[in-house]
Copies of this chain bind each other. A is one copy, B any other.
Amino acid sequence: MVNLRHIHVMLIVVLLAMLVTPALAQDPNGAETLEGDPNAPVNFAWTLICGFLVMFMQAGFAMVESGLTRAKNTANIMMKNLADFSFGALSYWAVGFALMFGTASGITGLLFGTDGFFLLGDAYDVSTIELWFFQMVFAATAATIVSGAVAERVKFSTYLIASVAITALIYPIYGHWLWGGGWLNAADFMVNLGGGYGALDFAGSGVVHAIGGFIGLAGALLLGPRIGKFRKDGTPVAIPGHALTFAVLGVFILWFGWFGFNPGSTLAATELRISVIAANTVLASAAGAVTTLFITWWRFGKPDVSMTGNGVLGGLVAITASCAWVSPWASVVIGIIAGIVIYVGVWLLDWVLHIDDPVGAVSVHGFNGAWGLLALGIFADGTYGVYTTEGPLVTGLLYGNAGFLAVQAISMVVNFAWAFGLGLILFAALKYTVGIRVPPAEEMQGLDIGEHGVSTYPNFVIAEPVLDGEKA
């Protein structure tokens, strides 16, 4: 049964917009909404602008992914990024949003929503559509994360199908469980265990990043490594990306966009906690970068640029769940651990699991997304409530609420099981039907020619570096 008091504030926004206007079930031009809430303009402006920043993260993902891969696949990577945002927006409009934020009563409501398809009917309402917009850019983010993990070998047609499945089904249903009044957040046993609130995830370490990262892990696993990535004895071979300039530009764009992602997730500028959220976001990312910089310096002898960029992103992912509920010093700690997670994660995939993740998507989004969920359970300091200044205030292990850490751990396990499990099913189904991987000859020649019949850089003399792969 749903404990109404604890339903995610986002849902409330939708409901309110519908309830305060009993005569008219919807308010497509906003006049009544404005009358009912004089703060609506500043909250709309805040939420939309933050949403625009999140949308811009698509450019960041495209730059990071293309920068860390080879020149012969660049057009394909840019196209995948164009396509997943476009297909994602349409899928989330048609189906995803309804599953995630639609209303449904009883048990069904704990699992998914059932109205609002195509934004038709009552959903043609300024508040509902505000929420749709902000959530749509999040959904597209989850989809685009996968792109990096499967880069340089996935068939473009198959990628499109996977991308639609993610934004239409896999992402929204899990999202419902956390943000739409579903069981992880609102089921009685979770609320009781958590001490007044169920599983939380402020801006989506789990909902967006870990989901994307673990689906990517499944994809990378089923695709197998790029040709030449591992020697016969399993040792990884470096396949350097074609332009660190693009990769770091992408990191900066993502960093910038993340200030829409995290602070914007209040959906309200009237929550002045937004300043603390912004500060926590920057501190965790800085700590992640500095940590990775020093670890790589210590381990490899020289500080590594692309890993440091991953360190920034890892810090950002890790703080995303807890950014509203922890204090600045805790953010620094969370970021430091995120930097370590990046290093260990990349090492694990390369040296132990032998899974080829060209851009580090699994470590950045998957492992650090999971860490972010736990970190919230540990460091929440009781200064802020559930998307509101009112109680119950959220506290974690260090502040005496071990139950909440348990709740978060459950949430993390469910997240992994759902994303990795459905990811395996999805990619396996595609593998044994339409196929998921381009032929070896196409992979060697590059997907730009094979999938799109184009060269990204026709005015430059292109070469592949000749690597030996073993230390001299």
Residues of A within 8 A of B (CB): 28-31, 33-34, 39-46, 48-49, 51-53, 55-56, 58-59, 62-63, 66, 70-72, 74-75, 78-79, 81-83, 85-90, 93, 118-120, 124, 126-127, 129-130, 132-133, 136, 156, 240-249, 251-253, 255-256, 259-260, 263, 268-276, 278-279, 282-283, 285-287, 289-290, 293, 300-306, 308-309, 312, 327-329, 332, 383-385, 389-390, 451-465
The docked-state distance in angstroms from the alpha carbon of A312 to that of B58 is 14
Pick the contact of A39: B41, B133, B458, B461 (CB < 8 A). B41
Q: Which of B40, B71, B79, B275 contacts A126 (CB 8 A)?
A: B275
- A52 near B256 with CB under 8 A, answer yes
Is chain A's binding surface mostly helix, strand, loop or mixed? helix
CB-CB < 8 A to A301: which residues of B? 453
Provide 11 A-B residue pairs closer than 8 Å at the C-beta atoms, listed in order of the A residue: A42-B45, A44-B269, A49-B49, A86-B312, A87-B290, A88-B286, A126-B275, A136-B279, A240-B458, A302-B453, A461-B462
A119 CB contact (under 8 Å) in B259, B293, B328:
B328
Instruction: Beyond A28-B276, A30-B272, list 11 extra A-B contacts (CB 8 Å).
Output: A29-B272, A41-B42, A45-B46, A75-B305, A78-B305, A79-B248, A124-B383, A133-B282, A243-B459, A245-B246, A304-B453
Q: How far is the CA of A248 from the CA of B78 in the complex (A)?
A: 6
In the assembled complex, the Cα of A309 lies from the Cα of B51 at a distance in Å of 21
Known A252-B62, A256-B56, A269-B44; contact A456-B243, beta-carbon cutoff 8 A: yes
In the complex, the answer to whether A245 meets B305 with C-beta atoms within 8 Å is: no
Contacts of A275 in B (CB 8 A): 30, 44, 48, 126-127, 129-130, 133
